[in-house]
């Protein structure tokens, strides 16, 4: 558990594709690292992946992916750039599956601000709802918020703040007690110290014309109380 798995080209299950896509389980190429010149600048690492015979068997299109990671003292920026090198439009999901550390999700202090008033799909209850207040995590949570604003904030002990540069969907996930027991790669107690706050395009597929690029960007800032 941890990190930021890249979900592409599918969110959830899809015929012939791994759950949440092949990008998160495929080896990427480290294209370069630019080290920070001083304390005020960032270290930048760039990773790439492109269509191959293996990916075409699962998803018969051509594409290039670039993943940029910029690290500063209290800030992390990541950008997934999708380039359509196919001969026609491609359609895909894209998501940055952030695992945010929290001291104890059960203590009632884990909240997500910036979602009030938004419509969302509650995947646990399988119904559409409207968020009427700040989101508190008190049970299994698996929800897709439609077109969440870019200034979305996620407040925990330590005051982690996440925001995206464009309006995207936002997936909020914590499997809680019983659901955690069903995962082979997730410890039964790991839900206690995490909340997934994930920007991306998942309620509908992103359409991308041939030759064009799509960028999914986020900035995560950690501020002390």
The three state secondary structure string of 10-77 is CCCCECCECCCCCHHHCCCEEEEEECCCCCCCCEEEEEEEECCHHHHHHCCCCEEEEEEEEECCCEEE
pTM of the complete model: 0.92
Question: In which band, very low, low, confident or very high, does the pLDDT at 164 lie, cut at 50, 70 and 90?
Answer: low
pLDDT band at 111 (very low <50, low <70, confident <90, very high): confident
Q: Residue 58 contacts by C-beta under 8 Å, 6 or more apart in sequence?
A: 16, 17, 18, 22
Would you state the pLDDT for residue 158?
45
pLDDT of 190 higher than 90: yes
Q: Say how many C-beta atoms besides its own lie within 10 A of residue 73's C-beta.
A: 9
- Percent of the chain scored above 70 by pLDDT? 90
Helix, strand, coil percent content, the chain, rounded in steps of 5: 10, 50, 45
pLDDT in tens, 193-214: 999 999 999 999 999 999 999 9
Alpha-carbon distances, residue 75 vs 30, 47, 98, 140, 220 (angstroms): 21, 19, 14, 29, 6
How far from 204 is each of 16, 84, 96, 200, 212, CA to CA, in Å? 19, 18, 15, 10, 18
* Top-ranked range on mean pLDDT: pick from 36-40, 68-72, 136-140: 68-72
Per-residue pLDDT at 112: 86
Q: Which domains does the chain have, with CATH numbers?
A: 6-222 (2.70.98.10)
Strand partners, 202: none
- Interatomic CA distance for residues 224 and 213, integer angstroms: 36
Residue, of 178 and 185, whose pLDDT is higher: 178
Q: Is the pLDDT higher at 182 or at 45?
A: 45
Name, in order, each residue with C-beta under 8 angstroms of 7's C-beta and a sequence gap of 6 or more. Answer: 20, 21, 23, 24, 93, 94, 95, 96, 97, 198, 200, 202
Q: Is the pLDDT of residue 224 over 80?
A: no
Per cent of the chain over pLDDT 90 is: 71
Between residues 193 and 184, which one has the greater pLDDT? Answer: 193
Cα–Cα separations (whole angstroms), residue 203 to 12, 63, 92, 119, 123: 11, 22, 11, 12, 12
Q: Convert the pLDDT of each residue in 66-99 to its tens digit.
A: 999 999 988 899 999 999 999 999 999 999 999 9
Q: Averaged over 147-168, what is the pLDDT?
A: 64
Give burial (CB, 10 Å; 0-12/13-18/19+) of 193. middle
């Amino acid at each position: 558990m941890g990190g930021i798995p890249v979900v592409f080209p599918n969110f959830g299950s899809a015929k012939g594709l791994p759950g949440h896509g092949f990008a998160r389980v495929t080896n990427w190429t480290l294209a370069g690292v630019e080290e920070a010149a001083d304390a005020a600048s960032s270290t930048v690492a760039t990773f790439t992946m492109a269509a191959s015979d293996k990916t075409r068997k699962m998803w018969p299109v051509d594409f290039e992916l670039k993943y940029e990671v910029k690290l500063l003292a209290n800030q992390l920026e990541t950008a997934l750039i999708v380039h359509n090198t196919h001969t026609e439009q491609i359609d895909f999901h894209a998501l940055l599956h952030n695992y945010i550390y929290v001291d104890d999700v059960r203590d009632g202090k884990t909240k997500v601000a910036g979602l009030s008033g938004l419509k969302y799909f509650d995947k646990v209850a399988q119904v559409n709802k409207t968020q009427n207040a700040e989101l508190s995590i008190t049970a299994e949570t698996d929800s897709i918020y439609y077109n969440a604003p870019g200034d979305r904030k996620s407040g925990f002990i330590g005051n982690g703040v996440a925001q995206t540069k464009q309006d995207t969907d936002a997936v909020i996930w914590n499997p809680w007690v019983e659901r955690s027991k069903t995962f082979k790669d997730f410890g039964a107690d790991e839900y206690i110290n995490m909340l997934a706050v994930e920007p991306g395009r998942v309620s509908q597929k992103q359409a991308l014309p041939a030759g064009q690029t799509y960028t999914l960007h986020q900035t995560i800032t950690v501020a002390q109380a």
